[in-house]
């Protein structure tokens, strides 16, 4: 299992689970998605101000990088996150300052993501 931890120095992502971000918060996280090498569930964990939220997306082995990206973005949007419209690289914005994002590609097998 490949995990990457992205520390965000400045953060601001509209979190639907009551992360109270100051009005000046403006952090972002940029993700690049690659074609899956297998089926699995990708997981993004957001932690800020003592609150943690996990967002997951089910990925099939036949998904393209674009489809995988869209599934992840749809899962983030459903949880209230603000994401850019581009794929396979996209940006999550409006995260509270100090937010950490942990990316776990699960069994989809990508080291680059």
Answer for the pair 90, 71: CB distance below 8 angstroms, yes or no.
no
State the Cα–Cα distance between residues 54 and 90, nearest whole angstrom.
18
Q: Where are the domains of the chain?
A: 4-108
Higher pLDDT, 73 or 86: 73
Tens digits of residue pLDDT in 4-35: 433 332 222 223 333 333 334 458 999 988 99
Reported pTM: 0.73
pLDDT bin (cut points 50, 70, 90) of residue 101 is: very high
pLDDT bin (cut points 50, 70, 90) of residue 61 is: very high
Tens digits of residue pLDDT in 62-79: 999 999 999 999 999 999
Domain made up of 4-108: CATH architecture: Sandwich (2.60)
What is the arrangement of strands in the sheet containing 40-48, beginning at the earlier edge strand?
4-7, 100-104, 40-48, 51-59
Higher pLDDT, 22 or 88: 88
């Amino acid at each position: 299992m490949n995990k990457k931890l992205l520390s965000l120095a400045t953060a601001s992502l509209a979190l639907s689970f009551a992360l109270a971000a100051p009005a000046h918060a403006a952090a972002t996280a940029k993700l690049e998605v690659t074609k899956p090498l297998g089926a699995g569930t990708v997981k993004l964990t957001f932690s800020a101000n003592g609150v943690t939220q996990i967002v997951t997306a089910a990925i099939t082995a036949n998904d393209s990088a674009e489809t995988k990206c869209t599934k992840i973005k749809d899962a983030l949007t459903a949880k209230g996150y603000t994401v850019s419209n581009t794929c396979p690289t996209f940006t999550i914005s409006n995260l509270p300052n100090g937010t950490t994002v942990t990316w776990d590609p699960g069994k989809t097998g990508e080291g680059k993501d």
